Structure 1
């Protein structure tokens, strides 16, 4: 055996070890990855605090007496505790903060980010399960959000003010976002299916096209009168998704989060327990075997990308109706963050919610670190990225192994036996 063959075999065995992991083992690895990333981040904070300039040391290392400008214990306490609104009273006689309420601003901001990332994470996960790399969720979110804002503003005079009219407008706005995002997602799906165009390239291109078309349309046609920024006019307040218990400044509504949970469950059932889901999963893992079994792989590709785009469009609708109240040119990178969320979740819809919550927790905690400490924002971004990288890497290796046909050491990619293995437990449900 040549050295190249030996290396290739070692790589395959390495990837297969991740593919064959059980759910419990994957959970254990994720927890271990979080702790390992915290340890590595601890020393990064110390190194940064040692070279930074400050008048008084924020933390002194025992025994050595070395002073550091940043306290790593404080940074991590604020990162995780602050994102929840400080429920724990570190350093106080009691462990819990007696003044803490779950309906606080910090937790609301964390859950707002979580809610939006649920939809974009689901969008990416659907495409991944079909063997497609949808890098265009950001563009689908942009067009979906713009469609929602324009349709709701245009339809508002037709519906009466009040709860009933507002609910109707919210439903119409979400449908408009889903349709616009679905159409935008169907374009690269059709190009992939019928022109063999690489979906990574087309979706990236469509991200830029969506952002620039939306910008020009709002700037030249739909810009709110007197607005100093490129934005549409606000949708009526009764058509916005309002919070029940959280402060309005948190940009979070419990109803949107509940809808996200329903989408998670519904998408899981669709993918794992329906004929469409069986076709989608089989086409994603074994396209040749799927074709042999009678699955229209091209049509499934278009459908998967359309569904993926529709979910991205719903994310844009929720962003407009819950967070912003209008479409504004400074759209956050929720679509790109959804890629990370999907990888963290192992492309499983049920894993999207905890992955989105972890991402939201880190973002919310990063804001608190900026408010409560002197740690620079660049270092906070490094810590956040470090945690995400450590947690995502095992799932990333697992995803590569599955796409390489290394699931359990079965037959090579393209055989009917492998398709049957991929659908184990799913064909009878369909």
Structure 2
């Protein structure tokens, strides 16, 4: 049995990019098939006036309609007449995609360094509050209009990045200098982030004119604008400029990891820490730097959420950071793949809302369908990561610091 498992893992680890994509599509098809059967059977236990009757049973839910709403409803029903790409459903999908790119990149950077950052949610929370507060206080002295937009938006994003990065550096320092498990510390710091931000809000930053726990709204000119003519309507809470920045950052992180000495040291520390240390990489510095960069990306996600969606900080921050973990795993921790993975999550989230509006399928069943798709598509990459981490399959031969090989004398 063990030999069979190792052979299967080895085949999965050595799979080409094309084979991995094919496996993902096969997993997606399998999840849709199983989910369709589940929807159909569940409809037999529901009450309805119309439905498909078989053998005395009335099945109330149509799996074809459910998946039509899940995938095409998220795009605004493009097969129907009068469709326009700049519709509300599409804006919701791309809104989710944009923010999940940031959180997915945050988790992916840590994973590539051999670290498990489960605290992206906390970093997003503190970064988003820092963004809202910074913009509100800076708006007092910064003039409005175009000048205010060009000053306040970058300032708010920078504040979110710095705050999220500092919050991410805490578990990095604990890992580097106290050998504290980063999984535990980042999970605990998520609760710390919620407690700190809630306390600061009630103490200093609560909007006195609002019954909802949150800050005052930032000036309209400080929100991320839409592109004139080709952009979405401002009431849709989405900007193509934000998506463009997210894609540019995604490409930039991919370049950083693949083409710079910092990226090489980060990747080497994650794959072969002993070899990295032998080659002169400061392991402690790299751990702190990796977690700081990861936290900064989470903080940027929080900044864009504040400046694009609600226009202020709300205590009920969506759990984008936790979704970012699944986004990164689904993408195989590849920065470019994070974009496609985030788009899938955006489709599932927006499509779920479309199902709830257009059908009588209960939200709990819709959540199961989305979970099945994520589980099936992510599992091959998850097993591939686990196999590469805990077996010697696919590991490269040891290399000397001068670039030559050691003739097999060094223990890999």
TM-score range, shorter chain: over 0.9
Residue 55 in 1 paired to residue 49 in 2? yes
Q: In structure 1, the residue corresponding to 2:217 is in which secondary structure?
A: coil
Unaligned runs of 5+ in 1: 1-5, 90-96, 422-430
1:3 paired residue number? none
Residue 285 in 1 paired to residue 271 in 2? yes
Select 2:194's aligned residue among 211, 223, 229. 211
CA distance in 1, matches of 2:90, 2:183: 35
Q: CA deviation at 1:158?
A: 1.4
Select 1:19's aligned residue among 13, 26, 29. 13
Residue 36 in 1 paired to residue 34 in 2? no
Q: In structure 2, the residue corresponding to 1:67 is in which secondary structure?
A: strand
Runs of 4+ displaced beyond 6 Å: 417-421
Select 1:264's aligned residue among 214, 226, 250. 250
CA deviations on 1:32-77 (whole Å, 9 max, x unpaired) are: 11111000001000111011122221x456xx68531111110001
CA deviations on 1:74-100 (whole Å, 9 max, x unpaired) are: 0001111110001013xxxxxxx3x00
2:409 paired residue number? none
Q: CA deviation at 1:219?
A: 1.4
Query: Contact 2:128–2:299 (CA<8 Å) still a contact in 1?
Result: yes
2:155 paired residue number? 172
TM-score by length of 2: 0.94
Query: Contact 1:85–1:104 (CA<8 Å) still a contact in 2?
Result: yes
Select 2:85's aligned residue among 85, 99, 102. 102
CA distance in 1, matches of 2:168, 2:104: 15
Q: 1:118 to 1:380 in 2, by over 3 A?
A: same
Residue 71 in 1 paired to residue 54 in 2? no
Query: Contact 2:152–2:222 (CA<8 Å) still a contact in 1?
Result: yes
1:379 paired residue number? 365
Query: Contact 2:123–2:193 (CA<8 Å) still a contact in 1?
Result: yes
CA distance in 1, matches of 2:403, 2:206: 54
Query: Contact 1:15–1:406 (CA<8 Å) still a contact in 2?
Result: no
Q: In structure 2, the residue corresponding to 1:158 is in which secondary structure?
A: coil
Over aligned residue pairs, what C-alpha RMSD do you find? Answer: 1.8
TM-score by length of 1: 0.90
CA deviations on 1:266-296 (whole Å, 9 max, x unpaired) are: 0000001100000000000110111011111
Q: CA deviation at 1:13?
A: 2.8
Unaligned runs of 5+ in 2: 405-412
Residue 191 in 1 paired to residue 174 in 2? yes
